[in-house]
Chains A and B, each alone.
Chain A
Amino acid sequence: MGRITLEKVQKKFGEVEVIPPLDLTIEDGEFVVFVGPSGCGKSTLLRLIAGLEDVSDGEIRIDGKPATDLPPAKRGLAMVFQSYALYPHMTVRKNIAFPMKMAGMDQAEQDRRIAKAAGALNLTDYLDRRPGQLSGGQRQRVAIGRAIVREPAAFLFDEPLSNLDAALRVGMRMEISELHKSLETTMIYVTHDQVEAMTMADKIVVLRAGHIEQVGSPLELYKAPRNVFVAGFIGSPKMNLLGGSHAAAHDCTTIGIRPEHLDVVASGGTFTGRVGVAEHLGSDTFFHVHVDGIAEPMTVRAGGEVGLTHGDTIHLVPQADKVHRFDDKGLRIA
């Protein structure tokens, strides 16, 4: 079981309010991702849940029981740190056994759980090595192994993949998702990478400066961002956000059009501009288009093989119903 509730949770470092009072519920078995730009308070929020920081005000409940004043060890949560935080002088086996040893578990049970975790994480051949003799991905797996043997109520991950190279990151992303499917334990995952958030989450919590901007499934955030910030943050490449006369034509302050919702037409069109940088990915081509009267180049997704090159004139039309409208406070207009 791992239902975590935050009620009016607030965190101040001295006079600085890093997390303004905030409410959030994480259901049992959910994969929740906290996403937001660097320094927005994601780690702090996770550490509040873990108990590594004391809340300044508010209440944390785990499975309905108050946990605000419980020390980290008593909360039944396991955490995987960004730096892995393995114990360098212990072998992989001892690292994984450490939480069980601290809990005074009997040796046979310890061995059984280590064998099971090592099997699941492909670590069986490395149990007698030290962390220093492992690759980044293997260290990551040891850190996960150390977390799963405790059979915690929930797992907390703080940017666990940011020290890995791109290829390994995609692989580990899958493995963590698999792990979640097989364990069905609550997982809270912190990242600044919206691609990780979109691919892994059941529920995404978008944070900015400690505020929750929006909570929802990846597709909800994609289809109906609640404000300009979420609209610009979720989706890759970024949504095109336009103000001025283009927005006025839709009776709002800002309009947002995703690159994949702009069609290239032979002539006419809503926007006419010059092709700048073209990124050819094979399956898709992204054009950065300079349109007169718009400061930022617009991004357009076109098919794999479009016969346009740098300097050509391009005509664009947004797809109907795919234009997001925002009012003067940046909030979505339905």
Chain B
Amino acid sequence: MATQHSRAAARLMITPAVFVLLVWMLIPLCMTLYFSFADYRPMRATFEPWIGFENYGRFLTSSAFTSSIVTTLQMVGGILCITIGGGVLMALLLDQPIFGQGIVRILVIAPFFVMPTVSALVWKNMFFNVDNGLFSYAYKALGMQPFDFLSQAPLFSIIVIVAWQWLPFATLILLTAVQSLSSEQLEAAEMDGAPALSRFRHIILPHLSRAITVVILIQTIFLLSIFAEIFVTTNGAFGTRTLTYLVYQRVLESQNIGLGSAGGIIAVILANIVAIFLMRIVGKNLDT
């Protein structure tokens, strides 16, 4: 296959794709880098192309930055806990022979196909709404005061919404892992006198560890950039301002493009550090 000729042809073929990718990724990144060193506030008609690291300094030292990092960690951590815990349970459940297995599996995957904005709106208006949300009805039916989720527990509410969207993904990956466990191993453990809980802890969980790390890796990368769910529900108020949302606010609400760009670059660097760190863990886990 790899003759001179075919290699040259292959290069020619992939050139457009590489070109589009480069333009598409590099130009915005370079623009962001450029603006991050500039004092650029269009509303005030300020544009000074080089002010050094002033934007970075201001972004990193503002109290909003530290709190946004904490919020981001809480949000991503919470969602990971729910999706992995729930995903393992769902996977074990779906692995059982149940009536209408095919339909149940499709239903379980369904939330993954709902757009983030739509699912956030649905949750906000149909479940969390104090006046006519389903949860309020449930509270009233039980004779309790309705709970205003989005203002009383906003971070938790967003975690629930996003976890609901990502649960199918985790379930799907973990289900394939559960199905690949040899039944003879479980039977051997049963004969060795391990009750159900021990079998889960000593056989099933170690078997799933690889799939769990993969889920953590992929989800973390996507969850670091959650935006729509926050925008639709709380607008970043009540301690739900993540790093991504903070950058958005700096650029669009404060109309400070320089400061926002610096924040964007910092977010990119942090996300890469997290990704490298996670890759290491996954690599280690995939080795054995």
Known contacts: A89-B207, A102-B198. The answer to whether A72 contacts B191 by CB under 8 A is yes
Known contacts: A83-B184, A87-B203. The answer to whether A77 contacts B192 by CB under 8 A is no
A51 to B192, CA, bound (A): 12
B286 at the A/B interface (Cβ < 8 Å)? no
Total A-B pairs, Cβ < 8 A: 59
Interface-centre pick from B184, B193, B198, B206 (highest chain A CB count, 10 A): B193
A50 at the A/B interface (Cβ < 8 Å)? yes
- Output the least CB separation between A50 and chain B (Å): 6
A333 at the A/B interface (Cβ < 8 Å)? no
Q: Which residues of B contact A85 (CB under 8 A)?
A: 182, 184-185, 187-188
Give per-residue flags for A72-109: 1 if the beta carbon is below 8 A from chain B beta carbons, else 0.
Answer: 11000111011101111100000000110011000000
Contacting pair A52 B187 (CB below 8 A): yes
A130 to B287, CA, bound (A): 13
Known contacts: A87-B202, A89-B206, A89-B207. The answer to whether A99 contacts B193 by CB under 8 A is yes
8 A Cβ contacts from A128-146 to B? 130, 146
Chain B binding site: helix, strand, loop or mixed by DSSP?
A: helix
Give per-residue flags for A35-66: 1 if the beta carbon is below 8 A from chain B beta carbons, else 0.
Answer: 00000000000000011100000000000000
* Chain B residue with Cβ nearest A99: B192
Contacting pair A78 B191 (CB below 8 A): yes
A146 to B185, CA, bound (A): 13
Give per-residue flags for B180-211: 1 if the beta carbon is below 8 A from chain A beta carbons, else 0.
Answer: 00101101111111110010001100110100
* Chain B residue with Cβ nearest A130: B288
Q: Which residues of A contact B207 (CB under 8 A)?
A: 88-89
Contacting pair B194 A102 (CB below 8 A): yes
* Chain B residue with Cβ nearest A77: B191
* Chain A residue with Cβ nearest B206: A89
Contacting pair A81 B188 (CB below 8 A): yes
Q: Which residues of B contact A78 (CB under 8 A)?
A: 191
A77 to B206, CA, bound (A): 26
Q: Which residues of A contact B288 (CB under 8 A)?
A: 89, 130
Contacting pair A98 B187 (CB below 8 A): no
* Chain A residue with Cβ nearest B188: A85
Contacting pair A81 B202 (CB below 8 A): no
Q: Which residues of A contact B184 (CB under 8 A)?
A: 81-83, 85
* Chain A residue with Cβ nearest B209: A89
Q: Which residues of A contact B189 (CB under 8 A)?
A: 87, 98
Q: Which residues of B contact A79 (CB under 8 A)?
A: 187-188, 191
B192 is contacted by which of A88, A98, A130 (Cβ under 8 Å)? A98
A98 to B189, CA, bound (A): 8
Q: Which residues of B contact A98 (CB under 8 A)?
A: 189, 192, 194, 202
8 A Cβ contacts from B32-85 to A? none
Known contacts: A81-B187, A87-B202, A87-B203. The answer to whether A102 contacts B182 by CB under 8 A is no
Q: Which residues of A contact B209 (CB under 8 A)?
A: 89
B contact set with A: CB distance below 8 Å: 182, 184-185, 187-195, 198, 202-203, 206-207, 209, 288
A-B interface, 5 closest residue pairs, ranked by CB to CB distance from nearest? A99-B192, A85-B188, A73-B193, A85-B184, A102-B193
Would you mind naming 12 contact pairs between A and B with Cβ atoms under 8 Å apart? Answer: A52-B190, A72-B190, A73-B190, A73-B191, A73-B195, A77-B191, A78-B191, A83-B182, A85-B188, A89-B209, A89-B288, A102-B192
- 4 more contacts with CB within 8 A, not counting A50-B191, A85-B184, are A52-B191, A85-B185, A89-B288, A102-B194
